[in-house]
Structure 1
Amino acid sequence: MGSYIIRRIFISIPVLLIISFLTFVLINLSPLDPAEVVLQAQEVPLITDELIAQTKEELGLDKPFIIRYFDWLIACLQLNFGDSYVKGEPVWSLVGPAFLNTLKLTLVSSVAIIILSILLGVICAMREGKMIDKSVRGVSFFLTAMPSYLLASIMIWYFSVELDLLPTSGMDSYKSYVLPVIVITISYVGIYFRNVRTSMLSNLNEDYVLYERASGLPEWKITMHILRNSLQVAISIFGMAIPIILGSTVVIENVFAWPGLGTLSVKAILSRDFPIIQAYVLILAAAFVLFNTISDIINATMNPKIRNDI
């Protein structure tokens, strides 16, 4: 098992290097001159060619491309993403707290999604074709198809404006989590519970299920056994749920004024704050690779045959 984990980690390293290079290249392909963006952010009244050249020298933008990339990469490994072009503060001092706020929202939502997905998946699989199965799938299809911003607006209007029960924005208390978590959960649980249902249905007709029923095992034990085998497929999906939600909270965070990465990234894009955009893309990419690796390791722990696939 140890050798599998080491091999899996070594595979992730070149992927991260490629992503970091592409991130750096795409930002540098922008038609806007970063030095000019910095001067505009500083509200310099007259931007001359000499001033642009001086700013480039101060930022190290006059160095060859490959040297700038390696300097940036080494700095990123030390969580030094440079300084914000707009605020002039270290990027990590802005991204760090925002990342923690987004991570809190993501983890709470992911736990709710996983629990509900497993619960609804088991119920629908064990009642295949019955009214409850059709009803749950129909409602989930409708809610999943609804845009998250529209669902969030409805929630705010009803629970915050009409009933005055929950706050509309910020993260002042545990109540601030309720509406964003509900919206995110509703948006994704309809997708993930169907994967659990499909996986369980494929296991229901396996020989071990017939044997266990013929042996007189209680139905709940058989269901738990089916669920355990079904989760081997679902774990990979659930493992990627966290980075997917982490990267898709942009709309929710802006609707609920949540001080997270999504809100920060939108402000950075509008103000062309390239260092923050680079940090945002790199953090999300690293999260995808990290959680994909973790889900593969968990799968390998549950199914030893996977360990020989690499």
Structure 2
Amino acid sequence: MLIKLAEPGFGAETANFRQTGTRTQCADASDSAYCLASWRKAGAPPAVLWFGNSQLTGINRYGPGDLNAPELLRRTLAQRGHYLVTYSQPNADLTEQTIVWNATAPAYRPKLLILPICYDDIRELGVRDTVADFVDRPAVMARLRAQSYWPLIAGAVQQSAKAGAPPATGHASIQTTVDAAATRFLRDHWALWRDRDALRGALGFVTHILRNELLGIHSTSKRPVDTSIYADRLALLDGLVADARAHGTDVLLYVPPYRQDIDGPYPMAQYRGFKRDLQQLAMRHGAGFADLDPIVPGPEWATVTDAVFGFKEPDFMHFTAAGHRRLAADVDRATRRLGY
């Protein structure tokens, strides 16, 4: 394969942090059981959940011994008697984080939820399969349906459930039977067939890069968020924070680090309004708030060099291990202010 299919958004210089030993960093339904098992093996201590996107896992210019912010904060919180578990997905959106919250909170009964709200990801509306798998669990779906914010996510959740549903039962046609047999044969005897979903993803990534290059769309191109989508997402966030607070969970909302040395993709008037709205939402619910926008200096940010064409772009999401140390330290200070 020409590129790492699981990490195409990182570029050539950034890689995922690989945790060894006790599993405390997970993504979604595909690996949540490992983190839950590790927490229970540790005696189910007071839990802190940190949700996020690829900024939490990606380390630019990854070197031996480098640690990401969740691992650094985990060690710090452990000294104060708290057990940190992280759930992060690339480009995570609020619908997905709401599903993960409803799937994991009843098990961990967390004391604190740390939730970064990325302006660029607030427009995302889909639910990836590995998050939608949580919805297949009857208890999770029942909990979601009982929430006041269910109407805000019902369409996306039901669409993802429909996409993953098995075909209707009944008598199989000859064509269906032959197709199923052929699929099984190809899967068992041809590696490229088994990898067809990954190959489809690679083709989509290549097409995306080429389209952007031809149209002159770059990482610095301004990307405003539609006002109706923005209002809908803020209402969902309001419901999520209210739900957490009603169940005795403290919440820390923070604005994640954003590159300052280059004029980036955020329209600044909208972005400043977004930060004010987050702070006001936190105040309404008695939640903590931290603006960590400026904490990582320019030299510690990444450059995205795609592995297929070699195009170089400034990265506004990922930074070096030094940036991770800054993020962990500032989130730690914010948790201390909340008594953790």
Q: TM-score, normalised by structure 2?
A: 0.23
Q: TM-score, normalised by structure 1?
A: 0.24
Q: Which has the larger radius of gyration?
A: 1
- Which structure has greater strand proportion? 2
